[in-house]
Amino acid sequence: MSNTSPFRAEQLHLIVQNESAHLVLNEELSEDTLHELSLKSIDIVSADYENDFEEIELTLRIVDEEEAQQLNQQYRHKDYPTNVLTFEYGIDETATLRADIVICAAVVQKEADEQNKAFAAHFKHLLVHGILHSLGFDHQNDEEADTMEALEIAILAHFLIKNPYI
């Protein structure tokens, strides 16, 4: 894919699986809204970064604390529920990038309350964060973190969500 053409809606396959007993996807977090946010995230990144994929398949799983803790323990060896985990599987023979993003609704709610943020805004921030991980971004050092945070801020600004880091 050229890094100058916008990423098109038909190139993104977003599968939303809400397995949380505590979250009903309302208009602010509808599948269409989450698809639009995901598409804009990919489009912004694709404008400035080279990539080797033609399509993206993302599965967004919204889970409760028990599953988030189990996955965090199994894959990160941390025994507590976390807000977001990303599992990036690479680019397959059809030039499709595949990834799973797991968001724990209860943890997101707790964090939003503690930080005086709207739940939907914080959820969207964590989805963008997970998408950036699926595209190969990380925050293992200050330079990587600065790049990732700048992209998150820019993407969220398109949706009138203020800088989550201030």
pLDDT tens sequence across 106-124: 999 999 999 999 999 999 9
Residues ≥6 apart with Cβ < 8 Å to 102: 61, 62, 63, 67, 68, 71, 84, 85, 86, 87, 130
Percent over 70 (pLDDT), the chain? 97
3-state class (DSSP) for residue 97: strand
Query: Which CATH number applies to 9-157: 3.20.20.70, 3.30.870.10, 3.40.930.10, 3.40.390.30?
Result: 3.40.390.30
Burial profile 3-37: b = 16 or more Cβ within 10 angstroms, e = fewer: eeeebeeebbebebebebeebebeeebeeebbbbb
Task: Classify residue 147 as exposed, middle or buried by CB count within 10 Å of its CB (0-12, 13-18, 19+).
Answer: middle
pLDDT tens sequence across 54-74: 999 999 999 999 999 999 999
- What's the pTM value of the predicted model, to 2 decimals? 0.94
Q: Are 11 and 53 in contact (CB under 8 A)?
A: no
| Average pLDDT of the residues in 128-140 | 97
Q: Are 48 and 87 in contact (CB under 8 A)?
A: no
